[in-house]
Amino acid sequence: MTNNNLPGGASAQPSPPWFMGYSKPFWVANIVELLERAAWYGVFVSITLYLSRILGYTDVEAATISGIFSAGLYLLPTFSGAYADRIGFRNALMLAFGLLTIGYASMWVLPTLLQSAGLVQYGVPAPDSEIVDSVGKIVVFNGLDTGWQKWIFIPVMLVIMVGGSFIKSVITGTVAKETTEATRAKGYSLFYAMVNVGAFSGKTLVKPLRHSLGDEGFIVLNIFAAGMTLLALILVFFFYKNRDKIESTKSLSQTWASLKAVLSRGRLVVLILIITGFWMVQHQLYASMPKYVLRMAGEGTSPSWIANVNPATVIIFVSLVTRMLARRTALFSMTLGMFIMPVSALAMAAGNMFHGELFTINLIFTSFKAHPIVVMMIVGIIFQGLAECFISPRFLEYFSLQAPKGEEGLYLGFSHLHSFISSLLGFVTSGFLLEKFVPDPRTLSAAEQTARHLALQGQGPMPEAYAHAHYLWFVFVGIAMVSAISLIIYGRVVKD
């Protein structure tokens, strides 16, 4: 498909090749995407822990706030994509990274100020409100559970949401306008690989920070995130140039009219609703997994490193999967991926069925013991990453080809609405499921807390409160299966 009026006033032809057959704007966009993803995933993998352990939210409150946080980031591109078309991609990226830097810096400053005010204290024992973290450091919450101070986080969240929303549409829009029909599939594959390199590097830092600083590491991590987005801002300022004069000057009413036109595309709306099921399960990597692993396998585990199995899997396999299915339709590839997701959720559920009996892992040069919760979670995430290789790059490709001339920014922003819906549903569902099947240890009786502590040391079973923890994952097995079957029906109806 040839576009004569692309976002930001770009011409129909991409910039001249610069490296590996792609232009300089293509690579600059991908590099800053890597930095933004490193910042985002470094923070987001621990966001529910940050909200609960640092700001004192309950499971349901933390899940709801995180869901709105994530959902807003995916809803706003519908509007910011159109605005980016109007002001130009370079200006949009500078605005985005400026806001992200302010937002992440505030996530560090906010609890630091609360600590200075005596509302959050570290290292002071308090029998009724203490948590002992993975390095034996006492973390005390004083006032935030009932006070208003924790709600100061909401404006900070809004700043990050607005900033991040531009990234979704502008970076994918740059890939669209800097590739041709012949290079587009590989271009999106490279883009998605860069996303996962960033995700992997960001999440890698969480564990050493926690082990060196305790839960305070969740605060310090935001300095790293702010640094990454500031570096991206500098790169955009010096190296990302608009090649053409900006031509798009849509009014708000015209933008709404375009949005209504997009929403009138019934087949795309239905596809978004179906793909929502995949992303509801995928979001559990951040909504449920961190708290599930820490509560069921102990504080010595590392949810951030476990989560890294996902981008590692994608990095290894996404190009191979893209090449294997290059001649098959996007819908065929997505359908294959959808049927992998129920297997993923089943594997995650299986960990609790081994009743805490440690697995012995034998490698060539060494052997070690691992908790079944951790082992089966890793197996499930590997399947999840494989499913993502089949689904996500081809989904973006599908939407880029559906966009009318001059509407690429709007359509590619709209393509993320599945994550808006799945963030709200997935995170809120997670909060209630965690509260019912994997409750916060602080809410247990003294006897139950003692039983859990002994169970984590291999000296007895987990208390009854955790007996059905795996039911949480059974819910997502059902959601994934319904979505997979629905996508088959969709493919038969649209015959595309």
Does position 123 have pLDDT exceeding 50, yes or no? no
CA distance 280 to 426: 5
Residue appearing with tokens 């990302």: 240
pLDDT higher than 90, residue 67: yes
pLDDT in tens, 363-403: 666 666 788 999 999 999 999 999 999 988 788 777 766 66
pLDDT at 224 over 60: yes
Torsion of CA 275, 278, 280, 283, to 10 degrees: -120
Closest alpha carbon to 71 in 457, 327, 460, 427: 427
Pick the CATH number of 15-240+250-494 from 3.50.50.60, 3.40.50.300, 2.40.40.20, 1.20.1250.20: 1.20.1250.20
414 has pLDDT over 60 = yes
Q: Across all residues in the chain, what is the average pLDDT?
A: 80
Query: In terms of pLDDT, which residue wins out, 135 or 187?
Result: 187
3-state secondary structure of 179: coil
For the chain, which residues make up each domain, given as ranges? 15-240+250-494
- CB-based contact 429:438 (threshold 8 Å): no
Is 139 strand, coil or helix?
strand
> In this structure, are residues 36 and 229 in contact, taking their beta carbons and an 8 Å threshold?
yes
Q: HSE-up of 111 (CA within 13 Å, CB side)?
A: 26
List pLDDT tens digits, range 316-364: 898 888 888 888 888 889 899 999 999 999 999 999 888 767 766 766 6
The answer, yes or no, to whether residue 428 has pLDDT greater than 90, is yes
Residue 135 has pLDDT above 60, yes or no: no
Close Cβ partners of 394 (under 8 Å, ≥ 6 residues apart): 322, 325, 330, 333, 334
Look at residue 149 and tell me whether its pLDDT is greater than 50: yes
With a cut of 80, say whether residue 485 has pLDDT above it.
yes
Strand order in the sheet with 130-132: 120-122, 138-141, 130-132
Q: Please give the average per-residue pLDDT across 279-308, as a whole number.
A: 91
Pair 120, 142: CB distance under 8 Å: yes
Task: List for the chain the helix, strand, coil content (%; round to 5).
Answer: 70, 5, 25
Strand partners, 19: 22
Look at residue 33 and tell me whether its pLDDT is greater than 70.
yes
